[in-house]
Structure 1
Amino acid sequence: MTAPTLTETLPARETARSWWGDAWLVMTRELTPTLRDPFSVVFGLVQPLVFLGLFGPLLAGSVGATVPGGDVWAWFVPGILVMTTLFGTSTTGANLLFEMQTGAHERLLVTPLARSAQLVGRAGKEMAPVVAQSLLVVLVMLPFGFAPHPLGVLAGLVLLAVFGVGVGSLSYALAIAVRQQDWMFWAVQQTLLFPLLILSGMLLPLETGPRWMQVAADANPLRYVVDAERALFAGDLASATVAWGAVAAALTAALGLVVGVRTLSRSTR
């Protein structure tokens, strides 16, 4: 009688590995520090609340009458949610740079986990902080007269999560690309971040800007996401604006995942 092998004695669910299982494993690994320290999610609210508390009243006093719809909070809060998503997910590559310095990333690369699943798992982790922070901002603003459409809020959170996956994936790809000169990560991130932010119209209406700025804004996918969030929170769920925003978010996610997976697959350390 021959002794049973390890494969024969383990249940099939323990020996059979799947790509989705790999992605789920990486996502839960990345989420664990956040769940153990939820204060990091709450701390991420400082910046959007400062913008809402200080910039919002200035906006109401200066261009409140020219804001589409006339409701400053209905126009401004969705833009701040997109800004929070952009800031939070575009900096996630810094975490990967830290793992590279400590050797944790290299150890993960030599595991049997599929590299594409590693990237997708990391990107999927970005959904949780984005949704949690956005919900908290909405709840904080309700007593101040912000009255979003409930279904629009849910759809808007999904749109933000999809967009965040794409931006987070691009951030990871950037971190891998500049791992030999990690200071370049912040140089590129900051150089791209603020033009995208200003040309999205999330802080000030672009309708009052010069024509060249409006043309440049039309080429900015972030603008369509911002416009879609405003339409969704206003309850205009089936508008063309929402459709264009969904397309922009989906294309950003697809581009980020493709670039991120290819970059990680070619990474040797």
Structure 2
Amino acid sequence: MKVLRDVGIIFQRHLLLMLRSPLWVFLGIAQPVVYMALFAPLLKPALSSLDGGSMTTAYRIYVPGMLVALALGGGLYVGFGLLAEIGSGVIERARVTPVSRVALLLGRALRDVVTLAVQAAIIIVLSLPLGLFVHIQDLLLAYALLALISLTASAVSYGIAIKVSNPGVLGQVINNLAQPILLLSGTLLPLALAPLWLRRVADWNPYSWAVAGMRALFAGHTADAAVWQSIVIMGAMAVITLAWSARVFSRAVH
């Protein structure tokens, strides 16, 4: 119970800090909105073999992929904030308090999930006039899946940040990690359009399963096997990455 109470305290603190400076939440969706306005229309001819290549189909395919990219991109770069707090002595001061070391990590990760939820809501609302429609039960499942993706990405970023303890090195590591993950997850274009060898490689990328599950939910196919497969895979990834990151964090902040 103490750990849960400590997580709540840390989460509340970082949430209040976010509310005091909400501008960066909106800045985080600037690039996805630009992509939605300028890239998504190009999908209509590219997806002509799928459902006639209508714009509704294009946004139904592109928006869920973009949300996964937002969860991954936003989560993988949160480690810079942790390094800034370590450098400014915030973490050092927290060491003398009875707050759980694991809570210091989980509270931050939950704040990242809330940030993603707000950004995803804005993007979905902006997509409604473009013909996108999602049933509420599918949307709730999509949010649960996005939360798991965000948790895994944030945990990995925090763990790597503590390991490298250098913003310059962290930037290089995250960039080299994020690019192949995003390209092999089919966030921009469906992997069904890729050659066979690339699809086989992408099968080993857990986030490609997440994108497939998100697109099935946005298409209204709740019973599709891709939905439960993506939730199970992302759930397992969240447990593994959070356990690893919490262990690294606890050893570094002892």
Q: Provide the C-alpha distance between the structure 2 equivalents of 1:232 and 1:34, rounded to a whole number of angstroms.
A: 30
Partner residue, 1:172:
158
Work out which of the residue numbers 3, 24, 45 in structure 2 matches 1:40.
Answer: 24
Superposed displacement of residue 69, structure 1: 8.0
Q: Give the structure 2 partner of residue 234 of structure 1.
A: 219
Indicate how the Cα distance of structure 1 residues 116 and 48 shifts in structure 2: closer, same or farther if over 3 A, else same: same
**Would the aligned equivalents of 2:61 and 2:190 in 1 still touch at CA under 8 Å?**
no
1:26 equivalent to 2:10? Answer yes
**Equivalent residue number for residue 151 of structure 1:** 137
**How far apart, in 1, do the equivalents of 2:51 and 2:235 lie?**
26
Quick one: distance in 2 between partners of 1:69 and 1:76?
16
Note the residue ranges of structure 2 that are not aligned, 5 or more in a row: none
For 1:118 and 1:268, locate their aligned partners in 2 and report how far apart those are by CA, in whole Å. Answer: 10
**2:76 corresponds to:** 90
Distance 1:202 1:66, change over 3 A: farther
Distance 2:234 2:127 in 1: 25
Give the drift of 1:67.
4.2
Is 1:103 aligned to 2:89, yes or no?
A: yes
Distance across 2 between alignment mates of 1:66 and 1:109: 58
- Contact 2:152 / 2:241 at 8 angstroms: preserved in 1? yes
Partner of 2:252, secondary structure, is coil
- After superposition, the Cα gap between the structure-2 partners of 1:215 and 1:111, relative to the gap in structure 1 and judged at 3 Å, is same
Q: Corresponding residue for 1:135?
A: 121
Partner Cα separation in structure 2 for residue 186 and residue 68 of structure 1: 40
TM-superposed CA distance for 1:139, in Å, is: 0.3
Q: Deviations over 1:225-248 (max 9, x none)?
A: 111111111221122110111012
Structure with larger Rg: 1
Do 2:68 and 2:149's aligned partners in 1 also have CA atoms closer than 8 Å?
no
In structure 1, what is the Cα distance between the partners aligned to 2:187 and 2:49?
14
Match of 1:259 in 2: 244
Give the TM-score of the pair, scaled to structure 1.
0.89
Tell me how large the CA RMSD over aligned residues is: 1.6
Distance change (3 Å), C-alpha of 1:85 and 1:234: same
Partner of 1:66: 49
- Measured in 2, the distance between the counterparts of 1:255 and 1:220 equals 15
Distance 1:201 1:233 in 2: 15
Structure 2 length as normaliser, TM-score? 0.94
Describe the superposition over 1:27-66 as per-residue Cα deviations: whole angstroms up to 9, x where unpaired. 11111121112222111110110111111111223x1213
Q: Does 1:49 align with 2:49?
A: no
Change over 3 Å in CA distance of 1:44–1:182 after alignment to 2? closer
Q: Paired residue for 1:208, among 193, 199, 205? A: 193
Structure 1: distance between partners of 2:14 and 2:32: 24
- 169, 178, 197: which one aligns with 2:182: 197
1:268 Cα deviation after fit: 4.3
The Cα shift of 1:68 comes to 6.8
For 1:114, the equivalent position in structure 2 comes to 100
- Quote the Cα distance in structure 1 between the aligned partners of 2:150 and 2:158: 12
Change in 2 beyond 3 A, CA 1:67/1:221: farther
* Residues 102, 76 of structure 1: alpha-carbon distance in 2 compared, 3 angstrom cutoff: same
For the Cα contact (< 8 Å) 1:74–1:148, is it kept in 2?
Answer: no
8 Å contact kept, 1:123–1:166:
no
Distance 1:247 1:167, change over 3 A: same
Counterparts of 2:52 and 2:16, CA distance in 1: 42
CA distance in 2, matches of 1:106, 1:118: 12
Taking a change above 3 Å as real, the CA distance of residues 155 and 268 of structure 1, as seen in their structure-2 partners, is: closer
Paired AA for residue 48 in structure 2: A
Would you say the 8 A contact 1:22–1:113 is kept in 2? Answer: yes
Q: 1:266: Cα distance to partner?
A: 0.8
CA apart distance, 1:106: 1.4
